[in-house]
Amino acid sequence: MSISDISRRRFLGSVAAAGAAAVTVNAAKGDARASQPAGGKAQAPDGRVLKAGLIGCGGRGRGAATNFLDAGPNLQITALADVFPDRVAKARELLNGQRGQQIGEANCFTGFDAYQKLLGSGVDLVIQATPPHFRPLHAAAIVDAGKHLFMEKPLGVDVPGVQAVMRTAERAQSKGLSVMTGTQLRRDNARMEVYRRVRDGAIGDIRSVRAIRNQGALWYRLPDPGWSDMEYMIRDWVNWAWLSGDIIVEQHIHHLDAMLWVLGKTPIKATGMGAHARRRTGDQYDFFSIDYEYDGGLHLHTTIRQLNGCANERQEVFVGTKGSANLDGIIYDLAGKPIWKYDGPVNDALVQEHVDWVTAIRTEKPINTAKETALATLMAIMGRDSAYTGKAITWDDLLASTARLGPTEYTLGPVPLKPEAPVPGADQGPPLSGTA
């Protein structure tokens, strides 16, 4: 039976074991973190040298590589892969010059097949940080090669891609490989303490939820006369839905994942809206507003906006029968008076996720967070596609989707551009979509 045939209940059941294991690790903070002095930096336990390869040498990839090196002793970056030579050169310069790595030219690979070459370079584990469109393809190859895997979020840009990652995660689990995903907010000390208290009943029964991330516009790149369509779109990837999944999938997944984490369940329906307002390039929306409905009548209101000159706000709030909680670290009574505020040690969650990953590898206690992040990715896609179409989408309808974003063959040449943003209510699918 394929994943697309699984009902909502059975789909959730298929990730219960991985989710429970991840929550246990998060709740206990792991032996490595518990052994650190108050306020000290968590480190993974020492052990043999672990050699990592980096696939995707852009800003997030370089950041993830440095986070990995900060996670403990005897960790090395030994190979680099990216479509573009200049990205590889920049990462090599940073890691060799500022972080003392010794990455030779023989272990620097470019082109669309660079990831395959990297897997044969003697690495023990791989950091995958390309534009999200490529995550399913690369993750499968990495796990099939028997490598431990760190994947940035989201895990795909469409339902078939996320389902493919689900299957990859199952293979990784059967191989005893550790798979860590970049939803680092679950590993922030303050958020984890609020999570514990809310789950223990500090605010009573949860009655409503909101998740807001309104901010200024992100970066963009204008076309260069020497670039093909494919090169331009990949270099400007954060503005193209087929590469990023749109802003609700690529960025707002952090906050939707927090809702999934605390509530412990996915919504049954999403009804949303959004629009392409002032974005200079690409076909994405500049804002989304989604109402997620859960069984039992609970509703989540969530918004994300990337527009300059507007009011900014970032919060994840749970309102209960006894009070409310902000995941940033404050609990309030029913009158809105703060009654508890986190004052414990502050950690770097971007490093902590690598600490937890390396710890799992070195202690031979595999961790696999891919399935929980797959659920958060699907939740984001559900909201996006509701806004794109103007229709309410149920969870079961979502899982049955075969719409695929983007091309299936990759060369630095033309791409069948469809730059218009989706129009809600029109009889159309997502940009560059087809049937898998």
15-41 confidence digits (pLDDT tens): 433 333 333 333 333 333 333 433 457
Do 254 and 212 meet the contact criterion of CB atoms below 8 Å apart?
no
Quote the pLDDT of residue 16. 36
What pLDDT, in 10s, does the model give residues 144-202? 999 999 999 999 999 999 999 999 999 999 999 999 999 999 999 999 999 999 999 99
**Which of these ranges, 4-13, 376-385, 421-430, has the smallest mean pLDDT?**
4-13
Q: What is the pLDDT of residue 417?
A: 67
Residue 404's pLDDT band (boundaries 50, 70, 90)? very high
Residue 51 CA to residue 33 CA, distance in Å, equals 22
Each residue of 317-359: pLDDT tens digit? 999 999 999 999 999 999 999 999 999 999 999 999 999 999 9
How far lies 6's CA from each of 118, 173, 366, 395, 435, in Å?
35, 20, 26, 11, 19
The answer to whether 286 and 275 are in contact (CB under 8 A) is yes
> What's the confidence (pLDDT) of residue 416?
79
Tell me: the pLDDT tens digits for 77-108? 999 999 999 999 999 999 999 999 999 999 99
Mean pLDDT (whole number) for 51-62: 98
Comparing C-alpha atoms, which of 301, 289, 281, 184 is closest to residue 241? 281
**419 has a pLDDT exceeding 80:** no
Q: CA-CA distance, 258 to 263, in Å (whole number)?
A: 8
**Mean pLDDT score, 214-236:** 96
Confidence of residue 430 (pLDDT cuts 50, 70, 90): low
Average pLDDT of the chain? 90
pLDDT reading at 204 higher than 80: yes
Mean pLDDT of 220-245: 96
The first and second tokens of residue 19, run together, are: 């989710």
- Cis link prior to 225 (omega < 30° from 0)? no
The tens digit of pLDDT for each residue in 270-319 reads: 999 999 999 999 999 999 999 999 999 999 999 999 999 999 999 999 99
As a whole number of angstroms, the distance between CA 127 and CA 129 comes to: 6
For the chain, give the secondary structure using H, E and C. Answer: CCHHHCCHHHHHHCCHHHHHHHHHHHHHCHHHHHCCCCCCCCCCCCCCCEEEEEECCCHHHHHHHHHHHCCCCCEEEEEEEECCHHHHHHHHHHHHHHHCCCCCHHHEEECCCHHHHHHCCCCCEEEECCCHHHHHHHHHHHHHCCCEEEECCCCCCCHHHHHHHHHHHHHHHHHCCCEEECCHHHHCHHHHHHHHHHHCCCCCCEEEEEEEEEECCCCCCCCCCCCCHHHHHHHCHHHCHHHHCCHHHHCCHHHHHHHHHHHCCCCCEEEEEEECCCCCCCCCCCEEEEEEECCCCCEEEEEEEECCCCCCEEEEEEEECCEEEECCCEEEECCCCEEEECCCCCCCHHHHHHHHHHHHHHCCCCCECHHHHHHHHHHHHHHHHHHHHCCCEEHHHHHCCCEEECCCCCCCCCCCCCCCCCCCCCCCCCCCEEEC
Enter the tokens of residue 8: 């909502």
**% pLDDT > 90, the chain:** 86
Is residue 233 over pLDDT 90?
yes
**Residue 425 confidence class, pLDDT cut points 50, 70, 90:** confident
Q: Which residue has the higher pLDDT, 314 or 419?
A: 314
> What is the share, in percent, of the chain residues with pLDDT greater than 70?
88
Residue 299 exposed, middle or buried by CB count within 10 Å (0-12, 13-18, 19+): middle
Q: Output the pLDDT for position 435.
A: 33
Quickly state the pLDDT bin for 420 (edges 50, 70, 90).
confident
**With contact defined as beta carbons under 8 Å apart, do 360 and 18 qualify?**
no
Would you say the C-alpha torsion 111, 151, 102, 88 has a positive or negative sign? positive
Ordered domains of the chain (ranges, CATH)? 3-186+348-369 (3.40.50.720), 200-345+378-413+431-435 (3.30.360.10)
C-alpha–C-alpha distance, residues 316 and 318, integer Å: 7
For residues 395-406, give the mean pLDDT.
95
